[in-house]
A and B are shown apart, each in its own frame.
Chain A
Amino acid sequence: MNFILFNMWEKTWGYKEGLAVCGGLFLTGILLQITIGKINWDLLAFPVNIILLVLYICAILLIHVNARRVYLFRWMSGYPATVTAMIGVVIITMVMGLTRQVQPRQTVDGFEAFLGFSQMLSAWPFVLIFTWLITILGLTLPKRILPFQWKNIPFLLNHLGLFIAVVGAVLGSADMQRLKMTTTVGKAEWRAYDNNQQLLELPLAIELNDFTIDEYPPKLMLIDNETGKALPEGKPVNLLLEDHLEQGKLGDWMIEVKQQIPEAASYSTTDTVKFVTFHSIGSTYAAYVRVTHIQTGEQKEGWISCGSFWVPYKALRLNDKVSLIMPEREPRRFASDITLYTQSGTKLAATIEVNKPLKIEGWKIYQLSYDETKGKWSDISIFELVRDPWLPIVYVGIYMLIAGAIWMFITASKRKEDSI
């Protein structure tokens, strides 16, 4: 390799050479993929990632100090290498974006495993080209950091910020724990499953006091009796049954709401189904409606309900073609009321909601799921517990990038005037 480089010493490398390097990395990646298979990121777990980080930074510094002697190294921190490396990453990521991705832990075989494109994040060609770009990014940094100069700050916010965020995210990925914990009302739980379905014991316990789902008012829709598709096809309409709604229009039909029962149960009479108020587990929403076709005057009336795990749903057939239905209500808020105990003796009451995780001793606890068959009557709540020790490093990078982006916006129109 060195021999070739010295031969090319006098030559100026440009975009063609840069693209050739990316192509070479791609082919090398394919060969690695075929011979040793996909990358197992779990191998990077602490302390391997720390060792790799130190080695990587040393490698970048070594390349940097030898840049005067080795043409390749000098070329690596120039524009042609940068631009072509980015083009390489764009292309390989486009392949990823056009290929259906499967979970990294899933086993794939045949042609899929051969190239590894369906698990791109673990595929050698992707990782090599990506590493190439990040290394080139890293190489731009030393001369901007030392000697320190104020005018290099915007450059460093963008470039060092991206470097820190990406390197932190990649090396930290194996140390990140994402666990699933299923809790039942009234019981304390301290065990959770990891991604490999291993049951782990945790230094904290969650006692579920209550799980609630607030729902939006139900809505009414029209469907085609044969296809079951919402009407008008392509741009379906719906009518939200808000409190005290008495009349509304849905397509060509006028809907009059005669009675609404927010908590109802049904019972069958000899010829039909009726709904009555029922305040207990399994109750559902029901409404008695009269529906009139605006043009023909055709009229139907009856009960309609979205049903629950206990009460069957009830549609209203308007004519041979169209039925009126009440789809399942959409959730407005999921919330778990919990008491949390930690090994260090903390006991605290908290509410965990979607978008409002609970942060405690390095863990973030998220509302993940519930017993979907029972819906709002679920007596279990499923949490995701996430621990990511490298998160602060990634966040430093992200905040630097945010500052860099704001700086870029402020100086966008002044930039060129200075340089000309």
Chain B
Amino acid sequence: MADDDALEQSEAFITSIFHSTPSGLGIVRNNVFERVNDPLCGMLDYLPSDLIGANTRLLYADDDAYLQVTLEIEQQLEQGTSCCLETEWRCRNGMAIDVLLRAAALCPTNLDAGMSLGVLDITARKQQAELAYLLDKHLAKNRLAAGTTHELRNLVAGMIQSNQVIGNRLQTELPGNLAVAQDCDIEFDAIRHYIEQRKISRMIAAIDNAGKRAIQLIERTRRFSHTEDISPRPYNLVELLDEVLELAATDSTLNKNEFFAKTQLVREFAPNTPWVSCKRGDIEQVVLNLLYLSAESFSGIDADSPMIIIRLKKASSGVQIEFEHNGTDLPDSLQRRDFGNLYPPPHVGAGIAPSLWVSYFVVAQKLGGKMDVERAAGNGAKITIRLPTTQGGES
């Protein structure tokens, strides 16, 4: 009787440890769950009764993934070692999570006795690493862009300045021009007549105009790649959005998107929109990210009239910017208002979740605003950004 009590107490003690441990734990025999603890069920959004008696195949996306993991665990346990590996599991709602599995044989000499399986959800850690990687890549590109824009500026300087010399030497009655023309037995007026008739003057003007536009583009790219504002200052968003959209027209990522090329970009900017205190680079980053996101929404669908509407208007307590498109809806997992808890879930399309998450971060943390996502009236989605206006409501 005393032995039974001791056994019962021991069982209760082990069960208590099993369920109170913060990590997911399961006992698996022949790939079937015999016991699962509450943290494991919570992690996967299953009830214990769903998992106990179920084959672990339930948690994998396909047979290949399941067989690969079970084979690797078996091989390592047969070698007499515990096993540690990363894989991807599916929750009850189909959402994928990254997990770290630690398997150990309950009886090293008899693997048929089963194994304990420790499970750690490492989704957030992997996504943070991915974001850190993206950030590092972004900074590297910025450094490259800053160097490239400097070199481009030099090249265009040589072109614009040489062009001015050409114009000066062909069109202006300078003593040096007259002397050389005389040496060549040519009337300077004849030279001027020739270049007018051959429309060379117009071409010189066109080169000058193109060079100045190139410098504007280089300058905008430089400002985007190297945010110059040390602290926020008031900006007229109508002008700023126009400039960013012009910059977007030169964005190779957007222009390589075959759907974006066919997409009509509609600007609905209300006049006299209040100014917003911000850093220029923050607005540029959000607008380009959301344009990219909107362009991606047309991938894989046959939209009749793909359209992205960008609205800018005065709101009750600030300024409202809307990005509305008639592409695909955002996945349910992104239809949340609480972006603060949103890590980019995997398998929602390359780049979509990070773009949205980074945009939310900039809007909420850097600009002191709010960002919402909702389904558009027809197809597609609408992203709304609300920003506070500059003190005094300058307009």
- Asked if chains A and B come from one complex, the reply is no
Chain B residues within CB distance 8 Å of chain A: none
